[in-house]
Amino acid sequence: MTDLIRDRTAIVGIGCTPFAKHLDGSEKRLACEAIVAALDDAGIDAAEVDAFASYTMEVTEEVEIAKSIGAGDVTFFSQVGYGGGGGCATIGHLAMAIATGQADVGVAWRARKRGSGGRPWASTVVQLPTPAQWTRPWGLLRPSDEIAMLTRRYFHEYGANRDHLANVALACRAHANRNPAAMMFDRPLTRDDYMAARWIAEPLCLYDNCLETDGALACVVVSAERARDCRRPPAYVHSVAQGLPRQHHTMVSYWSADPLEGPAHSCARRLWAGAEFGPADVKVAQIYDAFTTLVPLSLEGYGFCARGEGGPFTDDGAIELGGRLPVNTSGGGLSEAYVHGFNLILEGVRQMRGTSTAQVEGADTCLVTSGEGVPTSALLLRS
Amino acid sequence: MSDGILLPVVDDDGAPFWEGTLRGELRMQRCSECARFRFPPRPMCPWCHSTESEWPVLSGRATVWSFVVSHPPLLPAYAALAPYNTVVVALDEDPSLRVVGNLVSEPGAPINSVDPATIEIGAPVRVVFDRVSDEFALPRWVRV
């Protein structure tokens, strides 16, 4: 296996705004604030920035960022598609650009006012012909409905149940309760609360769904050599991958041969092929959690357990701090903030630095995933 | 838009499906060269690359593959009917052909006409057509 990118770059700066149901300021301004904070964290001047990577469902373009922060001549810029599936790929694109000499200092970011802004599914002005024409008229309107359809089938095929989903909600909440930056920091959640919660899209209840958040976040990526001169311990980008499997239909992939074998599986094959270690060596994981169901599906996809075993894997505190694989240690999209998973990347970096509010002792590897159920991406970080 | 219900945005690939439902027919796209069905419709067969296809009428028989019961917040026309079900059914001719729809108690009944507690994966169903506007009939499903 070639090692063109393995450990050749590192995330050396992270920055973010507060997370809230409503923040003042435009998404553009919030983006600049997060990016400048990340550059300060790295100890790198904005004039050195020569690469940008973002992902779709982002309103702010790199040309606007660059002129506001005072970036240099930019020689790499990309945007990855499919919204929440693209977050990790932004780091991957920067890693590839820097490792191949296209640029030296890369910035990846996400800025979104989903808390105070509208719900994208509520817009009826733009209705894509496909695949929406085959789902929306009957009332399958929201991502929650789309994932609920897979969740019910998952229960049926593998005997998983609401307690398994509750395990995920409770673990994320417990971690958020340790994190002052989390929106749910001071809101504990019990299993009884979960079971009594109102339905959104049966079998998904309120607590199976992520938060609605305003926030912006950013990462700075440089070469491994340059990383040694930065202010913080580097979080090396060990392996990166994207995944758009054959015969995929994004969130409504009811038409593929095995709808419960999602993009995580094909992404994982590439991810592990580029790594020097395997799932058994991973001490902590940040797994995209727009919905609780995505966590057991991702645990299967990334090889932590067999197909259908993702539910039982979460039992007995296994994914909580102190368990065999703590997941979403800052609270995730379910309890810290929902910003299309970019907070999971920042938390992965903190785990590698040893600065997490739910620090896993001895964590020297971390998996970070982007959204399961859509064309996706993932990272392996190491310290 | 008909009473706020979302109507399909039809493209070249899907037009024959909607022409069929307007005539009370469940038609599916089949490659003219290799005879494999595909759904959603698309301009090329992913297996043999032919751009020729036909749209045979199917039996309209299927089984329930999965279902959801949706509660607010929803678009207004759907919130008025909540909680309602949506289903994915697998067609008898080829169980890899799956279609999103609703279970209704009888043809023309609303999408909240079936008690969700009685819906089961595996239940056999048959298609019925609901004329929702001048231009569209939506396939829905009743249990047999």
Q: pLDDT per residue over A261-307, tens digit each?
A: 999 999 999 999 999 999 999 999 999 999 999 999 999 999 999 99
Task: From residue B58, give the alpha-carbon distance in Å to each of A146, A255, A325, B127.
Answer: 26, 17, 49, 10
Q: Does residue A260 sit at the B interface (CB-CB below 8 Å)? A: no
| d(C-alpha A317, C-alpha A294), whole Å | 18
With CA atoms as reference, report the closest residue to A9 among A377, A349, A375, A369: A349
Residue B24 C-alpha, separation from nearest chain A C-alpha, in angstroms: 17
What's the confidence (pLDDT) of residue A118?
83
pLDDT tens-digit series, residues A67-112: 999 999 999 999 999 999 999 999 999 999 999 999 999 999 999 9
Q: At A342, phi and psi to the nearest 5?
A: -70, -25
Q: Does residue A381 sit at the B interface (CB-CB below 8 Å)? A: no
CB-closest option in B13, B68, B75 to A148: B68
The answer to whether B68 contacts A145, with C-beta atoms less than 8 Å apart, is yes
The answer to whether B66 contacts A156, with C-beta atoms less than 8 Å apart, is yes
| Cis? peptide before B72, omega within 30° of 0 | no
What's the confidence (pLDDT) of residue A121?
84
What's the confidence (pLDDT) of residue A127?
60
**Which chain B residue's Cα is nearest to A147?**
B68
**Which residue numbers of B have CB closer than 8 Å to A's CBs?**
1, 5-11, 13-14, 39-40, 46, 65-71, 73-75, 78, 81, 83-84, 86, 88, 96-102, 111, 116, 121, 132, 136, 138, 140
Task: From residue B68, give the alpha-carbon distance in Å to each of A175, B22, B82.
Answer: 30, 26, 12
All residue ranges of chain B with pLDDT < 70 are 1-3
Provide the pLDDT confidence category of residue A126 given band limits of 50, 70 and 90: low
Helix A62-69 and helix A27-42: axis angle, to 10°? 60
Q: How many CB pairs under 8 A join A and B?
A: 116
**Which chain A residue's Cα is nearest to B97?**
A255
What's the confidence (pLDDT) of residue A128?
59
Q: Is A82 a catalytic residue?
A: no
Q: Sort out which chain B residues have CB atoms less than 8 A from A201's CB and list them.
A: 68-71
Above pLDDT 70, what percent of chain A? 98
CB-closest option in B6, B96, B116 to A137: B6
| Residue A2 confidence (pLDDT) above 80 | no
Which positions ≥6 away from B125 have C-beta within 8 Å? Answer: B61, B62, B63, B64, B87, B89, B103, B141, B142, B143, B144
The answer to whether A152 contacts B10, with C-beta atoms less than 8 Å apart, is no
Provide the pLDDT confidence category of residue A119 given band limits of 50, 70 and 90: confident
| d(C-alpha A376, C-alpha A118), whole Å | 24
Q: Sort out which chain A residues have CB atoms less than 8 A from B39's CB and list them.
A: 134, 255
Residues 21-40 of A with CB under 8 A from B: none
**Token digits of residue A338:** 């929902």
The answer to whether A150 contacts B84, with C-beta atoms less than 8 Å apart, is no
**Token digits of residue A209:** 């769904």
Task: From residue A288, give the alpha-carbon distance in Å to each of A182, A281, A373.
Answer: 16, 20, 10
The answer to whether A156 contacts B96, with C-beta atoms less than 8 Å apart, is no
Q: Does residue A255 sit at the B interface (CB-CB below 8 Å)? A: yes
| d(C-alpha B107, C-alpha B141), whole Å | 8
**Which chain A residue's Cα is nearest to B2?**
A137
| d(C-alpha B22, C-alpha B55), whole Å | 14
The answer to whether A134 contacts B100, with C-beta atoms less than 8 Å apart, is yes
CB-closest option in B10, B68, B121 to A140: B68
A247-251, A322-326, A338-342: range with lowest mean pLDDT: A247-251
Above pLDDT 90, what percent of chain B? 93
The mean pLDDT value for A199-211 works out to: 98
Strands A204-205 and A199-202: antiparallel
Which positions ≥6 away from A231 have C-beta within 8 Å? Answer: A12, A13, A41, A42, A43
Provide the pLDDT confidence category of residue A124 given band limits of 50, 70 and 90: low
Burial level of A2, CB count in 10 A (0-12/13-18/19+)?
exposed
Q: Does residue A198 sit at the B interface (CB-CB below 8 Å)? A: yes
* Average per-residue pLDDT for chain A: 95
| Residue A163 confidence (pLDDT) above 90 | yes
- Integer-rounded Cα Rg, in Å, for chain A is 19
Q: Which of B88, B114, B135 to mutate to test the interface with A (most CBs of A within 10 A)?
A: B88
With CA atoms as reference, report the closest residue to A325 among A345, A343, A306, A304: A304
| d(C-alpha A153, C-alpha A373), whole Å | 14
Burial level of B43, CB count in 10 A (0-12/13-18/19+)?
exposed
Contact between A133 and A252 under an 8 Å Cβ cutoff? The reply is no
Contact between B103 and B141 under an 8 Å Cβ cutoff? The reply is yes
Q: Sort out which chain A residues have CB atoms less than 8 A from B140's CB and list them.
A: 138
| Residue A194 confidence (pLDDT) above 70 | yes
With CA atoms as reference, report the closest residue to A189 among A168, A203, A204: A168
The answer to whether B86 contacts A145, with C-beta atoms less than 8 Å apart, is yes
What's the confidence (pLDDT) of residue A3?
83
**Which chain A residue's Cα is nearest to B17?**
A134
Contact between A289 and A347 under an 8 Å Cβ cutoff? The reply is no
Place of tokens 């950013």: A218
| d(C-alpha A55, C-alpha A84), whole Å | 8
Provide the pLDDT confidence category of residue A123 given band limits of 50, 70 and 90: confident
Q: Sort out which chain B residues have CB atoms less than 8 A from A202's CB and list them.
A: 68-71, 83, 116
Q: Does residue A122 sit at the B interface (CB-CB below 8 Å)? A: yes
The answer to whether B81 contacts A247, with C-beta atoms less than 8 Å apart, is no
Residue A252 C-alpha, separation from nearest chain B C-alpha, in angstroms: 10
Contact between B37 and B26 under an 8 Å Cβ cutoff? The reply is no
The answer to whether A156 contacts B70, with C-beta atoms less than 8 Å apart, is no
Q: At A182, phi and psi to the nearest 5?
A: -80, 140
| d(C-alpha A111, C-alpha B32), whole Å | 48
With CA atoms as reference, report the closest residue to B39 among B22, B6, B17, B24: B17
